[in-house]
Amino acid sequence: MHKVKTAVCFVIFLLITVGMGVSVFFSVRGDTEADYVVETNAFFAPFEFYENRKIVGVDVEIVNRVAEKMNKKIQIKNVEFDVIIDNVEAGRIADAGAAGLTITPAREEKVNFTIPYYASVQYVIFNRDAPPSMRDDHVVWEALTGAKLGSQIGSTGYIFIDDEIKNGVLSGTGTTVRGIDSHQLAADAIGAHIIDYAIADELAAKFIVDKNPELGALPLYYSGPTRAEDYPVEESYAIAVNKERTELLEVFNEVLAEMLTEDANGKTEIDKLVLRYMGLTNE
Amino acid sequence: MNDFFSKIVELFNTPEYIDSLLHGFWLTIQISYFAILIGILLGTVIALVGAAKPSKWLAIPKFICRFYTTVIRGTPMALQLFIMFFVIFAIKGFPSIITAILAFGLNSAAYTAEIIRGGILSVDKGQAEAGMALGLSRITIFIKIVAPQAIKNIIPALGNEVITVIKETAIVGMVGMYDLNMAAKDIGSGQNMASYIVPMFVAALFYLAIIYLITFAVKQVEKNLRKSDMKAEK
């Protein structure tokens, strides 16, 4: 009797193991056939985000267009934002990075950038009960003096804050910055009183504020000599390509040039895609 | 607080969210299952080598096993996962689920080895000596006398290790894998619910459910083992 019981247990265990093995095998099959790998961080709507567990968005459309043009298979992989540049530089597991990456001099030393395809502005996210002092419709860096700031680690928001604290308008003011996993978590950190304000890219900030009525967001400006001369903290997105994959860079540039051509109404394909993935139009 | 509950209701009423959570949950189960399997198999080998009688043939394997457990137990899992993904298996197109299984399996093996070694050592030396006095071979002594008693001490700690592995897999989101924790992040991100708090709570419930189930199963196994104990004493 005891032997039978042991045998039954063993057979059940074997069946489960084989079943699980088959399921892993099927989930693995698609992974191995790509010619190129493009890395992204899928928490940056409308440029890349999960929709029913598939990564979609404007950057994905660009990559698909490139794959079509080269007649190659390109796999899009989700990774943490702050490792993308290093992985693309090394070129061993990734050939390119499409993640709303801003062109910065430090990054340009490591990778080649395509032509910029989108201009964005940095936004300050704050609790409506405790907003920073505003200048008309924007916030200037000086208004953040002494505050606890947060931003997605490795993002341009974080780089900008870090720069200002180290050798900019916020240096020596006791302002601190905290690198947080994602824009979303930075926004949640305001609610939890971990930080006072979060800094994020325009579209990401707008998505967050839209769904959280207690939060507000305003563009971040450098202060000029007069109020009218304040200018926004701007940046432009481009796709990072490994320095040895020049053929890939060329096709990316061709595709982007096509997609940035204005139609009769003065709208580019990229603009339309942004609107579509923000759920604002059905085009 | 009212908002919190209405958001929980919203989450459970949105089929896509539940679907995402279940898919993430399935990946968590897949990784944990094979990691635990590797952990137990490799851990047993390491433990046996470690507990074997010292001899000149075993000097080098013994050293390797000791070195292995020291390094694995002495470094954070998050770093081991990072090294597996970005150094050792930094091969284009290598399936990430396999890398993850290996990373957690190799980690678990070191802990399992210590658990099993502890279990073997917990059996009184006199038992083996008695067996030897009866003229039994070392293998027979181990299989018939030491192992059955050791298992009773191993099972509770092993159950603990299984639970630890399941919860530890939550860090695979770090390399972009869509596990239960990642599903919660996805549901909490800007274009969905735009707040991590509620999805994280629900994901925690999923972890709690599976771990409660495992605790229950381990308790049953323990009870069974103790039952045979009682009979023997009578």
Whether the link from the prior residue into A232 is cis, omega within 30° of 0, is no
Q: Which two tokens stand for residue B142?
A: 């181990």
Here the tokens at position B188 are 């909490």
Tens digit of each residue's pLDDT (9 = 90 or more) over A235-257: 899 999 999 999 999 999 999 99
Residue among B30, B175, B197 minimizing CB distance to A188: B197
Q: Across the interface, do B194 and A184 touch by the CB < 8 Å criterion?
A: yes
Closest approach of A172 to chain B, Cα-based (Å): 33
B148-151: long-range contacts at Cβ-Cβ below 8 A with a sequence spacing of 24 or more? B149/B122, B149/B123, B150/B116, B150/B119, B150/B120, B150/B122, B150/B123, B151/B119, B151/B225
For chain A, say whether B188 makes contact (Cβ under 8 Å): yes
CB spacing of A83 vs B86 below 8 angstroms: yes
What's the CATH number where B12 sits? 1.10.3720.10
Q: Kindly determine whether residue A79 and residue B175, on different chains, have CB atoms separated by under 8 Å.
A: yes
Q: On the CB side of A179, how many CA atoms lie within 13 Å of its CA?
A: 11
Rounded distance between C-alpha atoms, residue B82 and residue B59, angstroms:
32
Contacts of B185 in chain A (CB under 8 A): 43, 182, 184
The length of chain B is 234
Ranges of beta strands (E only) in B74-228 are none
Contact A226, A135 (CB under 8 A): no
Closest chain A residue by Cα to residue B36: A17
Q: How many contacts (CB atoms, under 8 Å) link A and B?
A: 111
- Chosen for mutation from A40, A184, A207 (greatest number of chain B CBs closer than 10 Å) is A184
Residue type, A123: Y
CA distance A22 to A16: 10
The answer to whether A78 contacts B189, with C-beta atoms less than 8 Å apart, is no
Range of the domain at B56: 2-233
Domains and CATH numbers, chain A: 31-118+237-277 (3.40.190.10), 120-234 (3.40.190.10)
Q: How many domains does chain B have?
A: 1
> Which residues of chain B from 137 to 176 reach within 8 Å of chain A, CB to CB?
174-176
At A131 the three-state DSSP class reads: coil
Chain A contacts of B91, Cβ < 8 Å?
92-93
Which residues of chain A fall short of a pLDDT of 50? none
pLDDT in tens, chain B (234 residues): 678 888 899 999 999 999 999 999 999 999 999 999 999 999 999 999 988 888 888 899 999 999 999 999 999 999 999 999 988 988 877 888 999 999 999 999 999 999 999 999 999 989 989 999 999 998 899 999 999 999 999 999 999 999 999 999 999 988 889 999 999 999 988 778 888 889 999 999 999 999 999 999 999 988 888 876 776 555
Give the one of A24, A53, A78 whose C-beta lies nearest to B176's C-beta. Answer: A78
State the alpha helices, DSSP H only, in chain A. 2-29, 58-70, 84-90, 105-110, 156-167, 183-191, 202-211, 246-259, 269-277
pLDDT value of residue B233: 54
